[in-house]
Amino acid sequence: TLQGRAQFLELNTISVAGSVLIQLVPLSVAWLHGPDLAWLLPAVILSRVVTLSALFWRCREHVFKGQPRIISRTHAKGLLKFGGWVTITALVSPMMVTLDRFVIGAALGAKAVTYYTVPFQLAQRSAIIPGALSSALFPRLAAADVSERKLLGSSAIHSLAVVITPVMLLGIVLIEPFLNWWLNPEFASQSALIGQILLLGFWINAFAVIPYAQLQAAGRPDVVAKCHLAEVLPYLFFLYAGLHFFGLKGAAIVFSLRTFTDCLLLMFFARNLREGVALLYIPALILLMGLMVATSFAIGSLTWWTIACSLFLLSLLWAWKNAPNILRAAVIQNTEKVFHFKRRKSVASSQTK
């Protein structure tokens, strides 16, 4: 409700406070009473209740204030139908995201789960960017008509591609040296390629968030839910096949192919498929070239550095050339502010001396 009213500051403030609360309250209880579930579970529930109460209070202020509180059977039926489809998506989508870990554990054991989970968790952090964009975009999508909603969706995909492609390229190239430094060479050799494939999958999945928001804003959460339900059994079958023939790399490939299929389906139903494919094929080629560099050359070699830096510069040039005017203007303005601040600081420092 707060998101629909564009009250992002209040929503984020309560969400952050709730996240802090759910960490601190159980820790405080554990410090006072020890790690006893009889005390910890009520502490967690209390933290959730406090957060929910704060959200309910702000929703009352923005929705009910000055409005008659009348229950409409017609509206209730529509809301329950809408909420039912959203609930199905909320159950099925996270299940497919975590399903691979359960299958890997059953097929290959706990050690294999670790090799898969660490790069998966790193790659999953990239979902913050499209998630934030989708949350900010949803109220405008809900208020727009069909043609404006399509235009907003295409513009959002455009902006997201410009921002996220160079970031993902860095992740693909640097994940192996990072795992090497953070953990150990043996772990990096087992997990790096898995992480690189998963980063490609999450890059594709980032663009599925936009048509997902478009369809829900258009009152068609049933389309999203039906797409996800249709994906479950084929995904499970190919996941087993991928693990059987290619091991953990096969699981990562199947996950990425599922996100690709999901993105195409949602773009098709949101009527953004043609624009999405036309925009994304060049950055997709850049990322695939990054994967080839990361897997074909010795890390830290002159060839590796030369090609990796050239690809990163190419991705930045593509992003700058294709950036929407408003985004380009914001970058220029913020850059000028930074240099102006540094110049003033340098002048003040020289005058003090």
Same domain, 26 and 82: no
What's the average model confidence in pLDDT over 264-271? 92
Model confidence over 56-86: pLDDT tens digits?
A: 888 777 777 666 666 667 777 777 888 888 8
350 lies in some domain: no
- 239 band by pLDDT with thresholds 50, 70 and 90: very high
217 lies in some domain: yes
Model confidence over 146-156: pLDDT tens digits?
A: 888 888 888 88
Number of structural domains the chain divides into: 2
Q: Which of 174-178, 214-218, 332-336 has the lowest mean pLDDT?
A: 332-336
Same domain, 56 and 175: no
Token pair, residue 304, equals: 């590796």
Q: What is the residue-averaged pLDDT of the chain?
A: 86
- 97 band by pLDDT with thresholds 50, 70 and 90: confident
| Domain enclosing residue 204, as ranges | 78-323
Task: Say if residue 184's pLDDT is above 80.
Answer: yes
The per-residue pLDDT for 309 is 92
Task: Say if residue 11's pLDDT is above 90.
Answer: no
Q: Are 164 and 206 in contact (CB under 8 A)?
A: yes
Please give the model's pTM, rounded to 2 decimal places.
0.82
State how far the Cα of 170 lies from the Cα of 122, in Å rounded to an integer. Answer: 13
Same domain, 129 and 25: no
Domain stops at, among 68, 94, 121: 68
For residue 286, how far is the Cα from the chain centroid?
20
- 116 band by pLDDT with thresholds 50, 70 and 90: very high
Phi/psi at 71 (5° precision): -85, 120
- 346 band by pLDDT with thresholds 50, 70 and 90: low
The per-residue pLDDT for 69 is 65
The DSSP result for 274-330, as a single string, is HHHHHHHHHHHHHHHHHHHHHHHS-TTSHHHHHHHHHHHHHHHHHHHHHS-HHHHHH
Same domain, 20 and 160: no
Same domain, 46 and 159: no
In our burial notation (b when 16+ CB lie closer than 10 A, e otherwise), range 333-343 reads: eeeeeeeeeee
State how far the Cα of 91 lies from the Cα of 221, in Å rounded to an integer. Answer: 13
Separation in Å, CA 72 to CA 19, 23, 77, 80, 220: 35, 39, 9, 12, 21
Closest to 268 measured CA to CA, from 163, 156, 153: 153
Q: Are 272 and 146 in contact (CB under 8 A)?
A: no
